[in-house]
Amino acid sequence: MRRLLFLLLTLLPLNMLAQLDTQDAVRQAERIFSFLQYDQTDSLYERLADDMRAMVDKDQLSGAMKQAEQLAGAYQEHGEWTVNLQDTLTICSSVCRFENGELSAVIVFDRGWMIHGLHLMPRHDEVKHEPLPEGIVELTDTVRAADGLALPCIITLSGLALHPPIVVMVHGSGPLDSDETVMANKPFRDLARLLALRGISTLRYDKRTYVSHEPVASVEEETINDALAAIALARTYNNNVYLLGHSLGAMLAPAIAEQDSLQGIVMMAAPARDMEQVVIDQVESLSPPEATKEQKAQALADLHSQMPHYFVPQHQVQKALRLHIPILLLQGERDYQVTMKDFRIWQKKLRKKKNATLIAYPALNHLFIPGEGPPTPQEYMKKGSVSEQVADDIATFLRP
């Protein structure tokens, strides 16, 4: 259906923030949060700045707290507001406690206390990094995009094998960090550590839409061009470069491979169908039983308006068929976002390609984390780890 609240990409890097007097800001934040909590849509909409009204209509604001409660359980309370200043913007944030977890409320005001950003989203705490195992080193570097944008990245180097290959990780849709953080989980960080223990180095980077608030108009701009820049950086460490794509990144992996001389690609949860059909299935899966056809159609229309470039056909199956490099395609059978419908299409289309290996995992979800029962978005709020079997299969593919 509609996103947890709506995509507002006006926040800027927090390391540039400076503290300011908080009394007025806290009072304003409390007022806006009360509008959100009690679904006072008209009052909330009146406080939106003009640029926000161009992006969001009243209907999209309605029921935001109820949507959050569907994900995290009944709302209980929120903590004190943290107030920071960046240029002309005042940024207020608070931890909201729900029955099944915590979400972060973030409100961005201008000098006239009009709203330029409003988030109610999964909380991303700073994680205390465990010491790396012996023989593994993590370095920080920068992917320099074609337009000059700097994308911070982490290179995990494995010293546990001679001449280890290096794998560039390409994210799914949306603004994602180098760990591909999804609620309580960090699948790319899990994979980087697991693969390093198996003699595989990796490069993972903050996605453009995570680093910059500038809108993107195509998958080339959002993903493909930056992936090619990351591959170029990886070659400065090792010329034996593979690409691993997840979800949207997996769908675009054949297109990326067509533009670079990679050693092979790993496609995790790769849509085989056009995104239109994939999203229709997602809407159907996530809609409550009482949802009408009109409501489902409106949800699809909202997604079209928010992310039109995702719905441009990418012809990923045809592109994969043209590739002569090794392909590993992995699918979790408990994935409700990219389902076994897509995997069966891949099986049928790639059955004659000797360079393609396909593996499905009965217990794994979209993040390749084990679970039980029907998959739901609430599952992502529980911390888990990527299956070691997945890492074993990838390592076997990379180092047969």
pLDDT above 50 for 278 = yes
Residue 230 shares a structural domain with residue 360: yes
What pLDDT, on a 0 to 100 scale, did the predictor assign at position 285?
Answer: 86
Is residue 209 domain-resident? yes
Ranges 14-23, 116-125, 207-216, 220-229: which has the least confidence: 14-23
Residue type, 213: H
Residue 252 shares a structural domain with residue 223: yes
Residue 219 shares a structural domain with residue 248: yes
| Half-sphere exposure at residue 25, Cβ-oriented, CA atoms within 13 angstroms | 22
Q: Where do we find the tokens 């995990």?
A: 156
Structure token pair of residue 45: 């909409």
DSSP state of 325: S
Last-in-domain residue among 83, 98, 122? 122
| CATH code, domain carrying 34 | 3.10.450.590
What pLDDT, on a 0 to 100 scale, did the predictor assign at position 52?
Answer: 75
Q: Where do we find the tokens 């029907």?
A: 374
Structure token pair of residue 367: 């993040």
pLDDT above 90 for 33 = yes
Residue 159 shares a structural domain with residue 259: yes
Residue 230 shares a structural domain with residue 335: yes
What pLDDT, on a 0 to 100 scale, did the predictor assign at position 378?
Answer: 80
Residue 358 shares a structural domain with residue 209: yes
What pLDDT, on a 0 to 100 scale, did the predictor assign at position 12?
Answer: 24
Residue 116 shares a structural domain with residue 141: no
Residues in the chain: 400
| CATH code, domain carrying 170 | 3.40.50.1820
Is residue 372 domain-resident? yes
Is residue 293 domain-resident? no
Residue 145 shares a structural domain with residue 111: no
Is residue 343 domain-resident? yes
Neighbours of 373 (CB within 10 A): 7
pLDDT above 50 for 168 = yes
Using a pLDDT cut of 90, give the percent of the chain over it: 58
Among 226, 247, 302, 387, which one carries the catalytic annotation?
Answer: 247
Among 94, 212, 366, 387, which one carries the catalytic annotation?
Answer: 366
3-state DSSP assignment of residue 177:
coil
366 is known as an active-site residue: yes
pLDDT, tens digit, for every residue of 83-135? 876 656 788 889 998 887 788 888 888 888 999 878 777 665 544 456 787 88
Residue 154 shares a structural domain with residue 117: no
Last-in-domain residue among 71, 88, 122? 122
Q: Where do we find the tokens 């608070």?
A: 94
Residue 113 shares a structural domain with residue 209: no
Structure token pair of residue 67: 């949507």
Output the pTM of the full model.
0.77
pLDDT, tens digit, for every residue of 242-266? 999 999 999 999 999 999 999 999 9
Residue 189 shares a structural domain with residue 101: no
Longest dimension (CA), the chain: 67
Phi and psi dihedrals of 303, rounded to 5?
Answer: -65, -40
141 is known as an active-site residue: no
pLDDT above 60 for 10 = no
Is residue 61 domain-resident? yes
Q: Residue 189 sits in which domain range?
A: 136-274+313-398
Is residue 301 domain-resident? no
Mark residue 145 as left, alpha or beta (left: phi above 0; alpha: psi -120 to 50; beta: remaining).
beta
Last-in-domain residue among 100, 122, 144? 122
Residue 104 shares a structural domain with residue 196: no
What pLDDT, on a 0 to 100 scale, did the predictor assign at position 7?
Answer: 27
What pLDDT, on a 0 to 100 scale, did the predictor assign at position 198?
Answer: 95
Among 177, 226, 302, 335, which one carries the catalytic annotation?
Answer: 335
Question: Looking at the 3D structure of the chain, how many domains does it have?
Answer: 2
Q: What angle do CA 381, 382, 383 make, to 5 degrees?
A: 115
Is 77:97 a contact under the CB 8 Å cutoff? Answer: yes
Mark residue 152 as left, alpha or beta (left: phi above 0; alpha: psi -120 to 50; beta: remaining).
beta
Q: Which of 62-66, 88-92, 222-226, 307-311 has the highest mean pLDDT?
A: 222-226
- Taking the CA atoms of the chain, what radius of gyration do you get in angstroms? 22
